[in-house]
Amino acid sequence: MSYEKEQTVAIQACLQAAKLCERVRSTIPVAIEKVDHSPVTLADFGSQALICHRIHSEFPDDPIVAEESPKVLLKPEQADNLKQIVAYVKEEHKDADEQQVIEWIGYGTGHVSQRYWTLDPIDGTKGFIRRDQYAIALALIVDGDVKVGILACPAYGDDGGLLFYAVRGKGAYSQSIKAFNTTIPTRIYTVIDNDINNFRFVESVEAAHGDQAKQTKIARIIGIQAAPIRMDSQVKYAAVACGQAAIYFRFPNPHSHGYRENIWDHAAGAIIVQEAGGKVTDMDGKALNFRDNEKMLDNRGVVVSNGSIHEKILEAVKD
């Protein structure tokens, strides 16, 4: 199956969402605290509304497993925020109303199935709020295998950001977001420099998202002496895919033993790195499980590499 239609629809949906997100970020973004005390912004909800509406319109039988739920917006104290979200969505759909926007966001409360989409409408919300890196991440999964992946990264690369996308078996590509319709896609590859002395590794800005001490230790063991590049969101996958970094480590935080990764935080980035020539596994060398649950319950941590150094990393972790 070519997945040509799926790729085209997903790209256009993410470009729409990127436009909305940057519109919100041109002001000081309003953050709402979720039940788990993590932040969510008007842009998260607006992005999810646009993408879920587009995917549901074209593929009505496909469930969408997204990060956000519209429930928080139904609270009376969120009435003004809901009106503002609708105003942003109206820039793309002038006839949208509050009931429709809530419904569109709610399309993202689907469940993992044989064929489904997974979406993080803004991956790296803290980076978005402080006007740093963030990504809009969308992936199609069939029989547990990621078939299409899109990362819109409005703050990465050239002016206006870069869009990264891949279809299984067809390579990974990047393209300007701002000039998408007038530029030619660039095929990307993970290995830019084969000299390990020049390798860099990338990790999260947030110390709580991993084990930075262990990540640095493993980097030193395999011969990387340079300081880590720290970024928010799945932009880290993009950095490996286009050769800016050779490795992305995300080891479990030693203070959060029971934590498991969410599928929407890794699916889109994983296929882009793999199609660029890299490898993605957990710390034990197992493939990431996108088949069974919205949490990757069978996986411990994540290791992303340019491919050439992957087995050396896993051996160092094992030792």
Determine whether the annotation assigns residue 150 to a binding site. Answer: no
Strands 279-281 and 229-231: unpaired
Active-site residue, from 125, 190, 232, 282: 125
Active-site residue, from 44, 62, 211, 282: 44
* Strands across the sheet containing 302-305: 229-231, 201-204, 247-250, 302-305, 279-281
Sign of CA dihedral 245, 251, 255, 256: positive
Residue 167 belongs to what H/E stretch? strand 162-167
Q: Active-site residue 44, yes or no?
A: yes
Report the SS3 class of residue 314: helix
What's the CA angle centered on 138, arms 5 and 24, to 5 degrees? Answer: 115
Instruction: Name the DSSP letter for residue 78.
Output: G
Nearest Cα residue to 175 out of 248, 272, 47: 272
Within 8 A by CB and 6+ apart from 279, the residues are 273, 303, 304, 305, 307, 310
Q: How far apart are the first and last CA of the chain?
A: 41
Up-side HSE of residue 102: CA atoms within 13 Å toward CB?
14
Determine whether the annotation assigns residue 265 to a binding site. Answer: yes
Determine whether the annotation assigns residue 36 to a binding site. Answer: no
Determine whether the annotation assigns residue 122 to a binding site. Answer: yes
Spatial separation of the C-alpha atoms in residues 267 and 319, rounded to whole Å: 28
Determine whether the annotation assigns residue 67 to a binding site. Answer: yes
Residue 318 belongs to what H/E stretch? helix 310-318
**Annotated binding residues:** 67, 120, 122-123, 265
Tell me which residues are annotated as active site: 44, 125
**Annotated binding residues for Mg(2+):** 67, 120, 122-123, 265
